[in-house]
């Protein structure tokens, strides 16, 4: 916080300190569809959540909403941003990856992109 003083009138001018915006979601990366060697299951997408390293850590995120926000060429309702919603369903393996189900299947173009894992609905 900066304070400036005038010598003649002895007035103090206080400049407000800017707050950093608070992020209300955890960052995640869309990895790809759940699959085996020859089969691909497009209804289930794998997501790596930032800071989650074990299967036990994923328990907090089960049932949470996931948003994939992307930018399109044409504007709808005065916005070029679109969002696809999904839910965290269960853990996948022991290293913190989760399986997600989406309202519509995620496009393969989104693989490797960031998504938002919302902190609601809360189970606490």
Residue 93 vs residue 10, higher pLDDT: 93
pLDDT category at 19 given cuts 50, 70, 90 is: confident
Q: For residue 91, list its beta bridge partners.
A: 98
3-state secondary structure of 102: strand
> Tell me, what's the pLDDT at 61?
96
pTM of the shown model: 0.80
pLDDT category at 25 given cuts 50, 70, 90 is: very high
Report the C-alpha gap between 69 and 86 in whole angstroms: 12
Q: What is the pLDDT of residues 31-73, one digit of tens each?
A: 999 999 999 999 999 999 999 999 999 999 999 999 999 999 9
Angle at 21 between CA 85 and CA 51, to 5 degrees: 60
Closest of 70, 65, 80, 75 to residue 120, by C-alpha: 65
């Amino acid at each position: 916080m900066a304070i400036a003083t005038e010598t003649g009138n002895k007035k103090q001018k206080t400049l407000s300190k800017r707050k950093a915006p608070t992020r209300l979601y955890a960052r995640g990366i869309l990895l790809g569809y759940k699959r085996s060697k020859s089969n691909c299951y497009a209804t289930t997408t794998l997501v790596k959540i930032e800071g989650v390293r074990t299967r036990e850590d994923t328990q907090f995120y089960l049932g949470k909403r996931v948003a994939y926000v992307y930018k399109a060429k044409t504007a709808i309702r005065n916005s070029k941003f679109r969002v696809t919603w999904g839910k965290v369903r269960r853990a996948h393996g022991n290293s913190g990856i989760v399986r997600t189900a989406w309202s519509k299947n995620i496009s393969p173009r989104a693989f490797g992109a960031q998504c938002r894992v919302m902190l609601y609905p809360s189970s606490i």
